[in-house]
Structure 1
Amino acid sequence: MVNYYLKMEPHLFREAVHGQFERIVQEREAAAAAAKAKGNDAASGSDKSDLVLYRRMEEVKRSEQRATVEDLMYASVLEKFVDVGVDMLPRLENIIESPANLKALTEGIHTKEALDLVREHVRGIMGPAAVAFSNAMIKMSRLQAAQVYAASIMFGYFVRRVDKRFQLERSLGLLPQNTEEAVARLERLFSQAENVDAAEDPDSAPSSPSSESSSSAGPADIPSGGPLGGSGVSQAEATGDFQSLGAEKAKKKSALREYVEAFDQETMLEMTRVVSAEGAALVEAQTSALFGDLKSLQRQMQEAVGTDANSMEELMERVQSAVNSGAVESVTITVGTQRRAVLEAVAFGTFLRDVETHVDTEYALLTPPSGDGGSGGGGGQGARKGGSPLAGV
Structure 2
Amino acid sequence: MSFVNRKQTEIRASVQASDYGGSADPIAPLQLESPVGQFLSQILISHPHLVPAAVEQQLEQLQTDRDTEEDKEESSTSGAELVLYRRIAEVKANERRKALEEILYALVVQKFMDANVPLIPTITPSSPNDFGQVDTWPTQEAKLEGLHSAEAYEMIQNHLALILENRLGDSNSVAQISKLKVGQVYAASLMYGYFLKRIDQRFQLEKTMKILPQSIDIEKSNIEQEESGKSSFDGIKRSRLRYYVMSFDGETLYRYATIRSKEAVDIVEKHTEALFGRPEIVITPQGTIDSSKDELVKISFCGLKRLVLEAVTFGAFLWDAESYVESRYHFVAN
TM bucket normalised to smaller: 0.7 to 0.9
Is 2:156 aligned against 1:118? yes
Q: CA deviation at 1:307?
A: 3.5
Q: Tell me which residue corresponds to 2:315.
A: 349
Q: Tell me which residue corresponds to 2:194.
A: 157
Residues 184 and 5 of structure 1, relative CA distance in 2, 3 Å threshold: closer
- Computed over aligned residues only, the root mean square deviation of the Cα atoms, in angstroms, reads 2.5
CA distance in 2 between partners of 1:255 and 1:283 (Å) = 28
AA matched with 1:73: L
What is the aligned counterpart of 2:46 among 5, 8, 18?
A: 8
SS at match of 1:100: coil
**Within 5 Å, which residues of 2 pair with 1:330-341?**
330-341=296-307
Do the aligned partners of 1:276 and 1:368 also contact (CA within 8 Å) in 2?
Answer: yes
SS at match of 2:123: coil
Residues 52 and 171 of structure 1, relative CA distance in 2, 3 Å threshold: same
AA matched with 2:259: V
CA distance in 1 between partners of 2:213 and 2:100 (Å) = 39
Q: Tell me which residue corresponds to 2:69.
A: 31
AA matched with 2:52: R
Q: Deviations over 1:34-81 (max 9, x none)?
A: 12111xx2xxxx3x1221111011011000011011111101000000
Q: Tell me which residue corresponds to 1:224.
A: none
Q: Tell me which residue corresponds to 1:367.
A: 332
Q: Tell me which residue corresponds to 1:167.
A: 204
CA distance in 2 between partners of 1:183 and 1:283 (Å) = 34
Q: Deviations over 1:81-140 (max 9, x none)?
A: 001111001111141432132111122x11011010000001111223333233x21212
CA distance in 1 between partners of 2:124 and 2:101 (Å) = 26
Q: Tell me which residue corresponds to 1:382.
A: none
Residues 331 and 182 of structure 1, relative CA distance in 2, 3 Å threshold: closer
Q: CA deviation at 1:181?
A: 3.6
Q: Indicate the structure with greater helix content.
A: 1
AA matched with 1:352: L
Is 2:162 aligned against 1:130? no
Q: Deviations over 1:283-339 (max 9, x none)?
A: 00111011112xx43x24x44x9635xxxxxx9xx96xx4xxxx4212111222111
AA matched with 2:121: P
Do the aligned partners of 2:144 and 2:309 also contact (CA within 8 Å) in 1?
Answer: yes
SS at match of 2:119: coil
Do the aligned partners of 2:216 and 2:243 also contact (CA within 8 Å) in 1?
Answer: no
AA matched with 1:10: P
Residues 4 and 117 of structure 1, relative CA distance in 2, 3 Å threshold: same
Do the aligned partners of 2:158 and 2:237 also contact (CA within 8 Å) in 1?
Answer: no
**Within 5 Å, which residues of 2 pair with 1:1-393?**
1-38=39-76, 41=77, 46=78, 48-94=79-125, 95-107=134-146, 109-134=147-172, 136-178=173-215, 181=218, 245-247=228-230, 253-293=238-278, 296-297=279-280, 299-300=281-282, 302-303=283-284, 307=287, 322=292, 327-364=293-330, 366-369=331-334
AA matched with 2:261: S
Do the aligned partners of 1:73 and 1:356 also contact (CA within 8 Å) in 2?
Answer: yes
CA distance in 2 between partners of 1:76 and 1:183 (Å) = 35
CA distance in 2 between partners of 1:133 and 1:184 (Å) = 33
CA distance in 2 between partners of 1:119 and 1:260 (Å) = 16
Larger Rg: 1
Do the aligned partners of 2:154 and 2:237 also contact (CA within 8 Å) in 1?
Answer: no
Q: CA deviation at 1:4?
A: 1.1
Q: Where has structure 1 moved over 4 Å in runs of 4 or more?
A: 182-185, 248-252
Q: Indicate the structure with greater strand content.
A: 2
CA distance in 1 between partners of 2:220 and 2:305 (Å) = 39
Structure 2 stretches of 5 or more lacking a match? Answer: 1-38, 126-133
CA distance in 2 between partners of 1:60 and 1:72 (Å) = 19
Q: Tell me which residue corresponds to 1:228.
A: none
SS at match of 1:131: coil
Residues 179 and 281 of structure 1, relative CA distance in 2, 3 Å threshold: closer
Q: Kindly tell me the number of residue pairs found equivalent between the two proteins.
A: 282
Do the aligned partners of 1:150 and 1:345 also contact (CA within 8 Å) in 2?
Answer: yes
Do the aligned partners of 2:158 and 2:236 also contact (CA within 8 Å) in 1?
Answer: no
TM-score, scaled relative to structure 1 = 0.67
Do the aligned partners of 1:97 and 1:336 also contact (CA within 8 Å) in 2?
Answer: no
Q: CA deviation at 1:13?
A: 2.1
Q: Which moved more, 1:174-183 or 1:276-285?
A: 174-183
